[in-house]
Amino acid sequence: MPRNRKFIKRNKYRKLQKRKVNDNTVINLSDTILTETQKFILSKGLSFSPTIKNQTDLQLLRDTLLFNRRIRLKHHFGPTTLTNQEPRPFKTTNGWNPPPGKNRELDNFLSLTTEEITTGTTTNKFRNVDKTDLKAIQELKNNPNLIIKPADKGGAIVILNKKDYLQEAERQLSDKKFYKPIPKDINPKIVKEIKEFIKL
């Protein structure tokens, strides 16, 4: 009597082999049980960027120009002094964009990055994630109880409970052997000293 055998296609088998995750790559110290897909995505590293299939050249150009505008606005107005005020929820933008010419280095940087981004794109992109991968990314992103950090050594990814991470941060900051509270924010003074030093 012949046996019924289920064969896996070679390309599907290779895909399954590639999705195997090294247990040393992702270290889960949280109470959350990660799915295999979530582990696979995390094993790609925190610098992994999924390609967007429906991203058009026009959308990419728009995002690039918006980024350029934010950089120019921050350079034009400098650091905000309204950090202690409540943000305005219904604030509208007038679309004003600081003109170039104020800083040659900034102009060159934005010009080169814009050219590299817009000329290096192709309309038919290979998608490096599937629907299950995108779902796993969203699940990790929307989980408020997790903190995902790179390990201090070895290049692994560590997943922690957010409450444990904050408690450890508080414990270290409370150690007066290494930290002490300061009466006021000294960042403006430091920024001023750095700017004066650069002018020398």
Q: What is the pLDDT of residue 121?
A: 56
**For residue 173, is it within any domain?**
no
Q: What is the pLDDT of residue 52?
A: 66
Residue 158 has pLDDT above 90, yes or no: yes
Residues 77-117: tens digit of each pLDDT: 876 544 445 555 545 566 788 888 888 888 899 889 888 87
Residues 5-21: tens digit of each pLDDT: 555 555 554 555 566 67
Q: What is the pLDDT of residue 136?
A: 94
Beta pairing partners, 26: 157
Range of the domain at 30: 10-80+90-162
**For residue 28, is it within any domain?**
yes
Q: What is the pLDDT of residue 101?
A: 83
* Consecutive H or E run containing 66: helix 57-77
Q: What is the pLDDT of residue 53?
A: 64
**For residue 137, is it within any domain?**
yes
CA distance 12 to 17: 9
Residues 32-66: tens digit of each pLDDT: 999 999 999 999 999 988 876 655 677 778 888 89
Q: What is the pLDDT of residue 31?
A: 97
Considering the chain, what percentage of its residues have pLDDT values greater than 70? 74
Q: Contact 146/89 with Cβ under 8 angstroms?
A: no
Number of domains forming the structure of the chain: 1
**For residue 196, is it within any domain?**
no
Q: What is the pLDDT of residue 153?
A: 86
Q: What is the pLDDT of residue 146?
A: 96
**For residue 47, is it within any domain?**
yes
**For residue 154, is it within any domain?**
yes
Helices (H) and strands (E) in the chain, counts: 7, 3
The pTM assigned to this predicted structure is: 0.55
**For residue 85, is it within any domain?**
no
**For residue 184, is it within any domain?**
no
Is residue 39 classed exposed, middle or buried when 0-12, 13-18 and 19+ CB atoms within 10 A define those classes? buried
